[in-house]
């Protein structure tokens, strides 16, 4: 493919005369993996990485930083290297996004569940869809793990090409704040964008809630329809950024486009009426909690905007039992429940523990930790939430990375006033075994933070570990 086909003239600030229109074999942004003949995009302006790419055979270097580096290959100066890289990745795969209808979900919590709900509704409406998110890219029977909530452009573009080649109608994506800030979605236009909610998270990266919210709002500049949670105060920030039509949904206010009425929480799930102008459909869902109502509202509202009838949304949601690792239940012979959930923020923890309180006649026993090398400011807040809403809390490890697990635990317990209802056990496997061994009939054991993850990160090593497998093995071994 020619350079001029990958980077258009209006995206270039400086193009060396001697470059001509060179042939390019591929594109890359990781100098360690660049192959001969590929175009290297320097996303951070690192001279060392540029030299490394050139040594490995890069045909040219693309950067948005004017550099004194003298390379034996041409250097192209672009207006924005990240945007240029995202566009080049799409172009080299034939712009597959143009053959697809794209939807995206952003927010602190609920992205995975809402995306999967929307996919289920699309299927009920007669459409095929692919979900790309935290659990990978789901092509209906085959899941390709990417290691990202929103993959980088060189991973995302081939996934979109496969979806286009397989004539899939819709791609439903989770849009993370990191991806939006890093312009991974540049070149993509979304038919519908959904905002679920916004609470504290990723402040190690964004530094402030304002910057975090602004990153999320960037999605809606790319959307034809913006479907926003009216119950969240940050919805207005998303609306200000919206490029076209705005739709609101609410579980509290009836003066919006879509709302929930007659909400009833039971020990078997939640029931409510999904309402819009001229339509009312009853939904009886096996999911729990007020946050599940909002997730269903988000998905059903987006589907309505796409032209899918409310009765089809209701039918799909009544059969939807949750995304992997999201309020995923394991039953036991002893009569207590084990629930696995990805909740790793104070707000998400509050939501799932409040839901557990609603259907648990006995004790709520919570096992959780906080990730290392991530927003340490939320640790103490999560400790307080866990102790306030649980009868017993076992504080343990959760991807400690380069930090010492006990140091993270010290942060978590730093603002807990009473030691009466928590203990610490840095070994997550032992913590889960302790929780299950002490549970009795009527209790609920909440394993929080890792969801469907199949690993735990210690130092730079990703070691095999699954909360679900660990719990199932203990239940089997102990005959629980």
Digit-coded pLDDT (tens) for 347-384: 999 999 999 998 999 999 999 999 999 999 999 999 99
Give the tokens for residue 256: 């919006």
pTM of the full structure: 0.91
199 secondary structure, DSSP code:
-
Percent of the chain having pLDDT more than 70? Answer: 99
Place of tokens 């890093």: 182
Assess whether pLDDT exceeds 80 at residue 67: no
- Supply the pLDDT for residue 172: 98
- Residue 132: its pLDDT value, please? 98
Beta strands in 142-241 (DSSP E): 143-144, 170-174, 190-195, 223-229
**Structure confidence at residue 427 (pLDDT):** 97
The sheet carrying 269-276 orders its strands as 143-144, 136-138, 129-133, 170-174, 101-106, 190-195, 223-229, 245-250, 258-266, 269-276, 279-285
Confidence label for 278 from pLDDT (cuts 50, 70 and 90): confident
Domains 96-318 and 328-478 share a fold: no
Q: Which residue has the higher pLDDT, 23 or 218?
A: 218
Say what the pLDDT of residue 17 is. 63
Rounded Cα distance, 354 and 32, in Å:
47
pLDDT on residue 206: 92
Extract the tokens encoding 296.
């269903």
pLDDT at 184 exceeding the cut of 80:
yes
Confidence of residue 22 (pLDDT cuts 50, 70, 90): confident
Domain 328-478 homologous superfamily, CATH: Mur ligase, C-terminal domain (3.90.190.20)
User: Which residues are within 8 A (CB) of 184 and not within 5 positions of it... i.e. 6 or more apart?
Assistant: 82, 86, 150, 151, 152, 153, 156
Q: What is the pLDDT of residue 219?
A: 98
Q: Where are the alpha helices (DSSP H) in 221-318?
A: 235-241, 290-305, 310-318
Query: Residues 239-259: what's their mean pLDDT?
Result: 96
Q: What is the pLDDT of residue 21?
A: 80
How many Å apart are CA 472 and CA 398, to the nearest integer?
Answer: 19
Q: What CATH code is assigned to 96-318?
A: 3.40.1190.10
Across the chain, mean pLDDT equals: 94
Listed by start position, the domains of the chain span 3-92, 96-318, 328-478
Rounded Cα gap, residues 429 and 465, in angstroms:
9
For the record, the structure tokens of 370 come out as: 């906080």
- pLDDT value for 373: 95
pLDDT band at 84 (very low <50, low <70, confident <90, very high): very high
For 62-76, 92-106, 363-377, which range has the lowest pLDDT when averaged over its residues?
62-76
Mean pLDDT of all residues in 178-182: 96
pLDDT, tens digit, for every residue of 140-168? Answer: 889 999 999 999 999 999 999 999 999 99
- Contact 373/399 with Cβ under 8 angstroms? no
- Indicate the CATH number for domain 3-92: 3.40.1390.10
| β-sheet bridge partners, residue 282 | 273
Q: Which residues pair with 76 in a beta bridge?
A: 62
pLDDT at 15: 75
Residue 18: its pLDDT value, please?
A: 59
End-to-end CA distance of the chain: 61
Name 165's bridge partners: none
Residue 277, pLDDT above cutoff 90: no
Structure-model confidence comparison of residues 278 and 197, the more confident one: 197
Residue 210, classified by CB atoms within 10 Å of its CB into exposed (0-12), middle (13-18) or buried (19+), is exposed
Q: How confident is the model at residue 109 (pLDDT cuts 50, 70, 90)?
A: very high
């Amino acid at each position: 493919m020619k350079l001029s086909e990958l980077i258009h003239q209006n995206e270039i600030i400086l193009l060396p005369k001697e470059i001509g229109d060179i042939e390019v074999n591929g594109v890359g942004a990781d100098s360690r993996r660049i192959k001969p003949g590929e175009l290297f995009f320097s996303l951070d302006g690192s001279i060392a990485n540029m030299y490394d790419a050139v040594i490995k055979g890069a045909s040219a270097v693309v950067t948005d930083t004017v550099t004194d580096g003298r390379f034996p290959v041409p250097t192209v100066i672009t207006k924005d290297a990240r945007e240029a890289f995202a566009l080049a990745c799409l172009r080299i795969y034939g712009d597959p996004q143009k053959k697809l209808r794209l939807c995206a979900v952003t927010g602190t919590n609920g992205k995975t569940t809402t995306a999967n709900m929307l996919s289920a509704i699309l299927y009920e409406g007669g459409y095929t869809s692919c979900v790309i998110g935290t659990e990978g890219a789901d092509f209906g029977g085959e899941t390709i793990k990417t290691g990202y909530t929103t993959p980088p452009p060189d991973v995302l573009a081939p996934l979109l090409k496969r979806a286009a080649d397989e004539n899939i109608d819709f791609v439903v994506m989770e849009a993370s704040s990191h991806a939006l800030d890093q312009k991974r979605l540049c070149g993509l236009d979304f038919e519908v964008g959904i905002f679920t909610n916004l609470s504290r998270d990723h402040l190690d990266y964004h530094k402030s809630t304002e910057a975090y919210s602004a990153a999320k709002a960037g999605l809606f500049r790319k959307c034809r329809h913006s479907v926003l949670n009216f119950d969240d105060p940050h919805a207005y920030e998303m609306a200000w950024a919206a490029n076209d039509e705005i739709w609101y949904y609410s579980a509290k206010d009836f003066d919006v486009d879509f709302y929930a009425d007659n909400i009833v929480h039971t020990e078997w799930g939640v029931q409510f009426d999904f309402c819009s102008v001229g339509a009312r459909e009853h939904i009886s869902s096996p999911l729990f909690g007020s946050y599940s109502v909002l997730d269903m509202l988000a998905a059903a509202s987006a589907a309505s905007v796409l032209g899918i009838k409310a009765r089809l949304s209701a039918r799909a949601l009544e059969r939807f039992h949750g995304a992997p690792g999201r309020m995923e239940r394991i039953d036991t012979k002893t009569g207590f429940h084990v629930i696995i959930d990805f909740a790793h923020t104070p707000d998400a923890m509050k939501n799932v523990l409040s839901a557990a309180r609603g259907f648990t006649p006995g004790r709520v026993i919570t096992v959780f930790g906080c990730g290392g090398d991530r927003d340490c400011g939320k640790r103490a807040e999560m400790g307080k939430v866990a102790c306030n809403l649980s009868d017993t809390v076992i504080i343990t490890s959760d991807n400690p990375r380069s930090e010492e697990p006990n140091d993270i635990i010290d942060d978590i317990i730093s603002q807990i006033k009473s030691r009466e209802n928590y203990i610490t056990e840095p070994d997550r496997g032992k913590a889960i075994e302790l929780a299950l061994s002490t549970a009795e009939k009527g209790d609920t054991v909440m394993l929080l933070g890792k969801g469907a993850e199949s690993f735990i990160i210690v130092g730079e090593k990703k070691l095999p570990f699954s909360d679900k497998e660990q719990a199932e093995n203990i239940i089997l071994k102990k005959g629980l």
